[in-house]
Structures are given as structure tokens and as C-alpha cells.
Amino acid sequence: MSLGQSAAPVLLHIATPSMAAAENALDAGYDGVMLDLQHGEIGLDQASNMLRSIPRGNAYLFARVACIDSGVIGRLLDSGARGIVAPTVESAEQAQALVSATKYPPLGRRSLGPSRPALYSGADYCAAGNQAVSTVVQIETAAGVEAADRILSVDGVDSLYIGPSDLAVSYGLPGRPDWSDGPVADAVAHLAERARVHGVKVGLYCSDPAFAAGQILQTGLDYVGLGIDLMFISKQARASLAALKEAS
């Protein structure tokens, strides 16, 4: 059952290099996590250890990389990541490079050398691995929206994750999530529609639970990212200090 009886799995972005943060998110009811090697403080060794601390069967154990580097991606996958998210994908060539790094032959060029035992089950290990791992393109610019059909038509792309804050900046708007109208909202609706046409799953980062619930229903999202651990700490710290000041 997904968080709060949601119709779609819910992931927490993890920016801190903490096994406890991921463990507590899953214990609280999140369906999965996204380890952030792009904007967070998590290094490759730390991410690999965090991945090993989470049961390998979790389909929403994602890692977002800073760039499409087959060496980094290979280590994350061999440590148990079930999805690799590449940021700011704007071309079919970038999408193909991501597929090449995340999929075993014949789809890609991922090297066969698992460091974590029994990652995938099945008679054909490579086929099982390709089925188990989600290749996730993150579209978060106007250029990416324009190239969406070419990106989503690349064989091996499994999922689209929409980054609304950077998308807003690319349209000359403030960099925030949760847009109910305007060009960002239009782009989200367009991308979700194109993803369905291409048979690709689609997710969206949200910061407000009510907004996320509305997007799941209205846009037909397959999953959502909801919140970032560092922002939760900051928000609760400010609330606690404000409550103390008010009570003093």
C-alpha cells in the first residue's frame, strides 16, 4: 500500500549521506527513495553503502546521478539501485547514452559484473536485469519538452521524471515546484500525455501533498517525488523554534 493510500508510489528525495534517513523514510510509509548524487551531499561510496542497506526487491530504489557516466551508473546498479535518473535530458542522444549505461546487451552496454549477489532472478540474468532496472530520463527544460517525442521513443527508456523547478526557470519563472497553471503546468500535462503515447511511466516532483494528490488524479502519474530530507529538517526546525518563541 502506498503512502497515505495514494494511488501511486511515493518517493522521498534523500540528500544527506545517511542510511538512517532512507530507513526512516521507508519506515514512515514512503514506497521508495531517490538518492541525490546531483544536488545532495551523497558521494558514490556513500550511495553504494546506502543502497546495500535497503532490501534489494524495492522497485523504487532510485539514484539520481550528476551526469551520464557509465562507471558511476554501473557501480550504483551493482550495489542494488533499481532506477537511474539522469537530469536535464534534452536529446535522443542523451537518452540513448543513458540506456547504454543502464541496460545489458542487446539493449545497452552495461558490464556484467555484479558486486551484490542475487540482484536479479531468472534464467536469463541480463534479461532479468534489464526488466528490473528503470532507465529514467528527467526532463526539466523547455528544450527537453520540445524534444520529448524523440527522447521517449528511444528503445530502453522506461520512465520520465519531470523536474518542475528547473522547468520553471527555463521558462523565465521562479524556480519552484507545484504549478497549477501557466507554462509549467501545460508542459507537465503535455509530457504526461506523450509518455502515455510511448508507453513510458511518468513521475513528477512535488512539495505539497495536496498538490501531489491532485496531480496523481488529474495527470495520471505513475509515481511522485514528495519532499526532500534536508528541507524537512529545515521546516521542522523553524516550526519548533517558532513554537518555542511563541510559548516563551
Q: 183: closest CA among 175, 173, 193, 198? A: 173
User: How far from chain centre, in Å, is Cα 34?
Assistant: 5
C-alpha to C-alpha distance for 45 and 12, rounded to whole angstroms: 20
Please state, as a whole number, how many other Cβ atoms lie within 10 Å of the Cβ of residue 232.
14
DSSP state of 66: S
Please confirm, yes or no, whether 190 is among the known catalytic residues: no
Q: Are 104 and 112 in contact (CB under 8 A)?
A: yes
Tell me 246's DSSP state. H
Active-site option among 13, 39, 190, 198? 39
Provide Rg for the chain, Cα atoms.
Answer: 18
- Locus of grid cell 539522469: 86
Catalytic residues: 39
